[in-house]
Amino acid sequence: MPKSVKVLQNADALSWALLLLLSLIWGSSFILIKKSLVIFGPGEVGALRIASAAIALAPIAIRHLSRLSSRHKRLLLLIGFVGSFIPAFLFAKAQTRLDSSITGILNALTPSFVVVMGALFFSQKFTRQNATGLIISFAGSVLLILAGNSGKLGDINFYALFVIAATICYGINLNVIKVYLPDLKPVTITAVSLLFVFPLALVFLLGFTSFTEKISQPGGGEALFYVCLLGVVGTSFALILFNKLVQLTSPMFTSFVTYLIPIVAVIWGVIDGESLFPVHYLAMATIITGVFIANRRRKKIISVKQ
């Protein structure tokens, strides 16, 4: 076998391994939030998640901080709030009344809101195909809201709106990065933006919560482990994997993670005893179908004159 072919095969195998590992990590985030909420309040979970992720990436952030301009720093502060701080609190709040599996399904709306926010505020192109996909995915999210945890239509669970708000934040965040920070590496963006919001998370934890007392409670150490795992592995380590995946593959291949995350979240939910009904699976299929249509890139037809 030629050496070049072997190298390509190894790269392909590594790409699939990274994709599956990343899907497992991000798909497991919702069950980790659920386990953390057994002891900690939603605010504590959100702040601890930010603090642990920021500490893990602090060496990288400090190393790159002096090289950044004032403009970079202002934008990274915004990204820290919109892309990390606010969503961390919203997801934790949502899961006080929402199963982890349903939260994972709704998280699949993120690529759709990247398109919507891009069209509304960042002069990005919005096509009929985008509109069709968005309508379908939103129909699936409305179905989840109407069904709630019981699977009965009419049992409305408005806590799903917290997840939708978080995906809107992600949509804004990714557009800001794409439009205004193409000159910075993703790992720098994440590390420094987390460092900027870390003091606020720390002030909230030390000044407005009793999380230190809860750690000494039965199960407190276990809950702390879950939330730190969420921050360190689910944010810091996952970012490194994602950056590597982007380098090795195409945007289309990388986007597959969007469709695998809800599946992993549902599997964890079922293992943990959550009840999913046919309407939930229908909603998940509807959302994923809509996201696929909205983000599918049409192949260019190249005509060759002879």
pLDDT number for residue 97: 93
| Rounded CA separation 7/4 (Å) | 5
Residue with the bigger pLDDT between 227 and 300: it is 227
- Name the 3-class secondary structure at 164: helix
pLDDT at 246 over 80: no
What tens digit of pLDDT does each residue of 17-32 get? 988 999 999 999 999 9
Query: Is the distance from CB of 196 to CB of 76 less than 8 angstroms?
Result: yes
Residue with the bigger pLDDT between 8 and 84: it is 84
What tens digit of pLDDT does each residue of 144-202 get? 888 877 777 777 789 999 999 999 998 898 889 888 988 888 889 989 999 999 999 99
What tens digit of pLDDT does each residue of 279-299 get? 889 989 999 998 888 877 654
Q: Which two tokens stand for residue 275?
A: 């009840």
- Name the 3-class secondary structure at 17: helix
Q: How many CA atoms lie within 13 A of 241 on its CB side?
A: 22
Residue with the bigger pLDDT between 160 and 304: it is 160
pLDDT number for residue 306: 31
Query: Is the distance from CB of 43 to CB of 167 less than 8 angstroms?
Result: no
| Rounded CA separation 68/47 (Å) | 26
Query: Is the distance from CB of 31 to CB of 100 less than 8 angstroms?
Result: yes
The answer for residues whose C-beta is within 8 angstroms of residue 115's C-beta and 6 or more apart is 124, 126, 130, 134, 171, 294, 295
Calculate helix-pair angle for 3-27, 257-271, nearest 10 degrees.
50
